[in-house]
Structure formats: C-alpha cells, structure tokens
Structure 1
Amino acid sequence: MNRETIVRNRLAEKPLGSVLKTGVLKNEVQGVTIEYISIKGKYNFEELSQTDTFDVLLNICGEGALQSGATVFEIKSETIVRIPYSTGYVIQVEEGKEFSFIRIRKLLDEKDTQAVKRKTGNFDRLYIKALVDCPAYKEDIKSDKTLNRMILPDGLVPRFAMGSVETEGPDEVGEHEHPMLDQIFFGLEGCRCRCFADGESIVLTENMMLHIPLGAKHSVSVEAGDKLAYIWMDFFLTMEGEKYMGEQHQIIEGQDNN
C-alpha cells in the first residue's frame, strides 16, 4: 500500500493571486492523474475542454465559483463536482479568499469514449452535490452504525465511482477483495483507523491518500475513541466490472442522483 499526505494551509506565505498544483500518488493507477490544487485569490483557474478525459473535483476547504458554459455555481467546502464531457471550466476565487480541491482526471479509452457518445445525456450536464446531500447506502461488509454515502455514482464517469464511509470505534469494515478495480482512500477530518491489505497494515489519518492495490484482500478497523472517516475512489478495469456497484451497494435514500 503506497500512501501520501497532502498539506493543507500551504498558502499562508504566498502572495495574492497564487496557485499551487501538486501531483498525488503519481502513476499509481493507470489512466488516472490526481492533483491537489490550492488557489489564493483573486485568481481565475481555467481549463480548456478535452475529449479524452473527465475531470472530477473534490473541494475540501474554502469557497469559490465554478463557471461551466454560461452558468456560474457557488461551491462551498466538501462538495463533489463532475465536469460535463468535453467542456471547459473556470474556477473563480475572490481576492483574499482561498480555495483548495483535489482533482481526479480520468483518461478515457476507446470503449469509454464510445459509451459516452451512446449515452450523452449521462455525461453532458454538470453534476454537483454537497457531500452531506449525497444518498446513503448499505453494504454487507459494514455495520449498521456506519454512515455510507454515494458521492459519485457509477455511470457519471466511465469506470469510476466515489463514496464515503464514517463510523466510530469500535467498528470495522470486513475483509474483502476487488479483483475488478484499484481503490484509493482519502482520510477526512479526524480520521484515525487502521487499514490492512495482504498482510500489511497502515494507520489512515486525515489528509492521507492510500492506494489499495488491485485484487488485494483488505479490511479496516477503528478502535474505541477513534473515528473512521474516508472517501473511497474506485477505478474499474472494465465496464463489466462496474456491475459490482449495483450488486454490493444498496441505496437507501435519494434515489434520484441528478
């Protein structure tokens, strides 16, 4: 399991109008680029449209405005955004304010692109939700006291989905394996839990990203007085593998994700 911790509050000594971009877990998952981007306004962060990638933005602190097409959306902390396919965007940060987010850029292969063109309605609108508004789900490997949320359902980005898990110790996520996907955990505020994978164990803490390798048998435990709180990112090898999402995750509220 490879890991890397991002550094928050890194703009204190930077002048107004600064932007810092740092790669995270480089080359861990094929076709996936993860960057931690921090902006100190006044600044407009612009990305041009691309036809071979999807961008997903996870805002972790600060406030800004996202312009996609002719519409401007205000973004608060802890919000997930899926940029529409083949659409540029601008993030506007006002003077004196800061905005930090994790950008996951998913490269599309030929089959992905064909799927996007067949079902354009799934991919040509902006998807944006506060994490607290994302639908909850149940899973057999997790206890009843666990709060799980589906924050990027399957079908919005080919071969990519995201969710979150929160519980207090003592508790655990039972041992299981994913022969169809790579998985990355991102520790949320206050997180302190132990992740096990193929005989190795690592304590996952807030702001840490941890790669669970393809096919590894893994589990997570949290002791009394500690908190388990992380976002999982699933990167599927094939479209067929995405069926795992519907088979294992039982949505219990908010069936409409649009």
Structure 2
Amino acid sequence: MPELPDVEGFREVLRSCGTGRRIRRVDVRDPGVLRGVTVRRLRKELEGRRLEEPWRHGKWLVAPTDGPRVVWHFGMTGLLLAAAPGDPVADHDRIVLTLDDDRRLHYRDQRKLQGVHLAGSDEGVGHVLGDLGPDALGLARDTFLERVAGRRGAVKNVLMDQSVLAGLGNLLSDEILWRAGVAPGRPARDLDEAELRRIHAAMGRVLRSAVPAARVPPRRTWLTGRRDDRDPVCPRCRGPLSSGRTGGRRSVWCPACQS
C-alpha cells in the first residue's frame, strides 16, 4: 500500500514531468476511479490547463493547475508513472494525461479503492482531504506528543489513524515501533513520555531514509526487509519475529526487543 514515501515519490514524478506543462488531452480509460467528478467535466476542466508545483499531505497528492486542482489518493495499489510517447498503456492504467511535449502521466490502479478528485480551489482541496492530522514528515516532537499521548487503542492503530498523523501505514508503523522498542499492541495511553519520544525519533529516522527511496526500503537491516521471510528473524537480536493482527492489519514485531 502506498504510504508517505511512495506518495512523495509520485510527487517527484509529477513535479519533474509535468510542472509548467499544459495538459493536452485527458483520457479516462476507467471512470470507476473518478470521485465526485464526471469524465466530461474532468476533460473540460483540465484540458489546456498548465500544471503547477504539486504538493503532498500524508498519502494525498495535490496537482494544482492554473485552474482547478487534481487530488489523488492511491489506495492499496495506486501508482503515478511518467511515460514517453511510444510507451504502451497497461491494462490497469485508469487515467492518462498527455502533456504538450507528448509525454504522459499514467494513473495506474489495480483495485480502484480510492481515486481522483477535482477541486476548484484550495478550500475545495480542504474539503476533499477532510479531517487529516498533521503530516508525519518533519513533525515537531511536541506536536507528536500532544497528538499521540493518552489516545485510546493500540499504539500502532494510533500511528496509522490519519486523523492523528497523516502518512503512516502498516509497514512504516511496524518499522518505527521496532526501532523504538515498543510492541505494536501496547495501549497508547499507557506509554510514558520517554517511550513516545523514542517513537518520534524513530519516525524521523525512518522517514528520512524512506523518502529518498520513494518507498519503505526492504533492507535486510530493517524489520521491513525480514518480515516476509519464511522464518523471519529480528535484524537486531536474531531472535524469531512474531506476527499477528492489530486492528485488523498484520503486524510483525520482535518479542525480545519490543515490550
């Protein structure tokens, strides 16, 4: 599932390929990914518009133009790809934007759980994004403590709650908690300030490494790089990793290193 680092990578694709270019053609190959906008309106509003500097909040990507704003959410399987004029269109490419230099932007999504919105203003973008918490990247420690301390539920569920912090998903949360030495099922309201500070510091380190890679890197020194092994072991203590469900999502942790 695309998380903050993935969407930051999509922002860079959009920035490098599209910023300053006009959208010459909008090809909606599957209207099932449109949210609150028709094919006709999307084409009418976007064709001929110039793309401006994109920005991201959490897992959402906003592509402003010199008119409306395109707001993307990538759900479980979404991608944004740059393509040359002769490149093929894949079966799951749902929307293709052709730019004035004939390069294309492909929105690809197999499962179509989220999709593409159109907002007429920054206020409209706010309505689409809804009640999102602050972006996790670069979040100040005091703000993190204020938003997480005392929350009900398992700490992993709190980290993944987009109304608390925007951008963290399943892989990031497991990685952050492993580094911080906190078990994912611990009630957030039971954590002391030292533990919360460790989680915040681990979040910063993980995101600083993951954003340049545009993904959660499957490095063997990371929990992420071990979680799908047949018999996974902790990269730190070499003990066996545990796996279970936290809030309906698969969690992986080290029972020896996390308490």
User: Which TM-score applies when normalising by structure 2?
Assistant: 0.29
Q: Give the number of the structure whose alpha-carbon radius of gyration is greater.
A: 2
Q: TM-score, normalised by structure 1?
A: 0.29
Indicate the structure with greater strand content.
1
Structure with greater helix percent: 2
